[in-house]
A and B are shown apart, each in its own frame.
Chain A
Amino acid sequence: MISLDQIIRLIFFPPIFITIVFPGLIALLIVIVFLIWLERKIAAKVQLRYGPLYILKPLGGVIQTVADLLRYLFAEVIIPRRADKFSFIMAPILSFGFAFIPIVALPISSKYFAFKSDLSLLVVLALLTIAPIFILIIGWASDNKFSFIGSLREGYMIMAYEVPLFLSVLAMAILYNTLDIIEIVETQSKWVWGILLNPIAAFVFLICTFMMTARFPFEISEAEQEIVMGPFTEYTGIIFGLCMSYSYIKLYILSLLFAYLFLGGWYPIVWPFTLNPIMPGIITLIKGLIVMIIGIFLRSVYPRFRVDQTLRIGWEGMFVLSIVALILSFSLVILVK
């Protein structure tokens, strides 16, 4: 017989807890459901509307996304005749998977993590870069001109946001003298938050996050009025649900990463329950949510840039800024030593 105690211990076994509960699948699902609702609700608030409401009136229609998910779940899945069937189905699943995997490397606190590695920050970023490749495959497999153009745009964008993003992370790594997320957070708890140490790197990271996750004003690869739904134009049903959540997963992971790198991770308050993974988890999540909410709020302020303008911002703006951030980090390190 497995006792209750064993079950609890199994659930709180770090690799399982992190992948399944937090920051893994369950928390992810709740956050996405909440985030998409919040996105529509914030936009509605700015736009003098109510937004989704009647589905659950007392709570302002918070489960609207659940209804949308149900519809996707029970909708017919259409595979266009001219599409390459295997890659058409596999590419979104794999892109979802690779966007999700980096979660494993995210620690909850200094004593609670799935695995400890000196390079956990690098692992997260490296895994995140794999996912966009499948977007290119999607565009090819759909055999639709809008998908094709959309995935090409994504292809152009990959370089423009990834190089500055990596450089800004590198700047922080130099500053903290480590690539281990746990040590990064611990270092911050001794000094000050990273955003105060190197605000330029934080800014670059934030902008690149919005570029990477197709937030406004960089919603280039899914630009509705130009190329319908970008790479995902041909997708129906639950596979489209995967595609749609793809950018939100990336937003989720990058926001948590932002919290670890720049906002002191789980460390604003000294909490008494050291063993408990819940409290530090919540603190990290709140910090991440603030970043996510900034991201979704931009929708109601900005229209979108053109693709060439975005690339220019990436290369001429963010790239240069990230170099400046690197120099700043170097000089700080030299100054301290």
Chain B
Amino acid sequence: MSEDKFMQVLIGPQHPGSGHMRFIVKMDGDIISEFEPDIGYVHRAVEKIAESKRYIQIVPLVERPILADTANINLGYILALERLLGIDAPPRAQYLRTLLAEINRIHSHLYGLGIHGIMIGSSTIFMWCFADREIWIELAQELTGARITYSYMIPGGVRRDLPNGFNEKLSKAIAYMEERLKDYEKIFINNPVVTARLIDVGIIKKDDAIKLGIVGPNLRASGVAYDVRKIEPYCAYPEIDFDIIVRKEGDAYSRVLVRFEEIKQSMKIVKQVVEKIPSGPIINESYLKLIPPKLREKAEQTGIWKMPAIFINLKPRKGEAISRVEAGRGEVTHYIVSDGSPNPYRFRVVTPSFRNLIAFKYTMPGHRLADIPAIYGSLDYFPPSADR
């Protein structure tokens, strides 16, 4: 223990409430006076490795750091790549992308809600969220063939068509989830202990949220109606009706509520997507041409497409492209610099967790030690995605 009146506490990386990072906390009694997140424990150099990989190989690479929200991160990369290639996905593919992105958003929010629950000691909400998350994971698995690393979006389209009987399963899942959300309200949202722990804790005011550049539900909980899906609509979002959930308080509880309501909004979107989805090809015609007619016929019957061989040697034009996508945790920005070769010259991805990191430093001071997990959970921070 240091001699002055401050005590320095190091929390993590092996700590039940830290995740894959370390907090360097300076305590004045029970009050935090300085808070410094020490990240980099999961830094695996995605950006450097991407420079050694072909464009299509980066699709699975960008997913790995953000395992809880792979579809959205992938979508962002594909959008940036498509801008470089000057190609666009057909309408059906756009709807399928939206479908997967929203399913992923639901289970990403459930993940965040569950982790937040266990952070303040409610193991039940953790278990429930993770149990119900499996339902959405299974739907996505049915659609894409993988549990969480979908690699579903490819330049110019998607990998697979909607499987048979998907709509019934989806409507069943939505009906079930709506019932469950009522249970969540009983055990978590309206629990007196939860409200006592979260209300007026970790307040980020509107001005601060803008200044610090917070993203996603955390930003919207502070009263800023910023959602990339509305500001710069991509995929099928322009044709779909949904609301941006905004709350004014900016405390940990309102962040939970925003996430909670967004699950409902996502289910609304998913419902509309399966109703409105147009028929047609799922890959851009210019790539479809490259598939031999026999294989193409077979693919149209089964709905499973084999990727054309050209994908290994995609050569975008020289230049750069930036894309932004509203992922579950917030805005993902992909920035690609191409020099015309099959490998990107520079690949940059800024994930929502990395943008939210700054919130730790400026929100925590003034709170108690016991508030660290409450605020940490409410920010829905996913360390591997911040470290990349």
Contact = CB atoms under 8 A, between A and B. Distances in A.
Given A145-B1, A216-B121, A304-B120, A225 B16 contact: yes
Interface string B1-36: 100000101000001110000000000001000000
B341 interface: no
From A148, A225, A303, A306, residue with most partner B Cβ within 10 Å: A303
Interface string A290-315: 00000000011111111111000000
Contacts of B373: 225-226
B368 interface: yes
A307 B368 contact: yes
B197 A303 contact: yes
Interface residues of A, number: 29
Q: Among the interface residues B15, B119, B120, which one has the most CB atoms of the partner chain A within 10 A? A: B120
Interface in B247-274: none
B193 interface: yes
Interface string A140-167: 0000011011000000000000000000
Contact of B120 (A145, A148, A303): A303
A303 B128 contact: no
Given A223-B370, A308-B368, A47 B197 contact: no
B191 interface: yes
Nearest to B116: A303
Contact of B191 (A219, A228, A303): A303
Contacts of B131: 47-48
A228 B18 CA distance: 10
Given A145-B1, A225-B17, A227-B369, A303 B127 contact: no
A300 B193 contact: no
Contacts of B119: 225
A224 interface: yes
Contacts of B141: none
B312 interface: no
Contacts of A57: none
Question: Chain B, interface size: which category?
Answer: 20 to 34
Contacts of A49: 127
Nearest to A312: B196
Interface in B263-293: none
B121 A303 contact: yes
Given A305-B196, A306-B197, A226 B124 contact: no
A56 interface: no
Contacts of A146: 9
A299 B126 CA distance: 13
A11 B224 CA distance: 74
Contacts of A46: 124
Contacts of B197: 303-306, 309
A217 interface: yes
A146 B18 CA distance: 14
- Tell me which of B1, B370, B373 has the highest count of chain A C-beta atoms within 10 A of its own C-beta: B370
B118 interface: yes
B1 A225 contact: no
Contact of B124 (A219, A225, A300, A308): A300
A43 interface: yes
A228 B12 CA distance: 10
A146 B122 CA distance: 21
Given A47-B123, A306-B371, A307-B370, A228 B15 contact: yes
Contacts of A227: 369
A316 to B, nearest CB: 13
A226 B369 CA distance: 7
A146 B9 CA distance: 8
Contacts of B118: 225
Contacts of A301: 124, 187, 191
B369 A149 contact: yes
Contacts of A303: 117, 120-122, 191, 193-194, 197
A300 B128 CA distance: 11
A46 B197 CA distance: 22
B372 interface: yes
Nearest to A300: B124
Interface string B338-354: 00000000000000000
A302 B15 contact: no
Contacts of B123: 43, 47, 299-300
A146 B17 CA distance: 13
A307 B197 CA distance: 11
Nearest to A225: B17
Contacts of B370: 223, 226, 306-307
Given A43-B124, A149-B369, A302-B122, 19 more contacts: A43-B123, A48-B127, A48-B131, A216-B121, A219-B121, A226-B17, A299-B123, A300-B123, A300-B124, A302-B121, A302-B193, A303-B120, A303-B122, A303-B191, A305-B196, A306-B196, A306-B370, A307-B368, A307-B370
Pairs of residues from A and B, 4 with the lowest C-beta to C-beta distance, nearest first: A225-B17, A47-B127, A304-B121, A303-B122
5 contacts: A145-B1, A149-B9, A305-B196, A306-B368, A306-B370
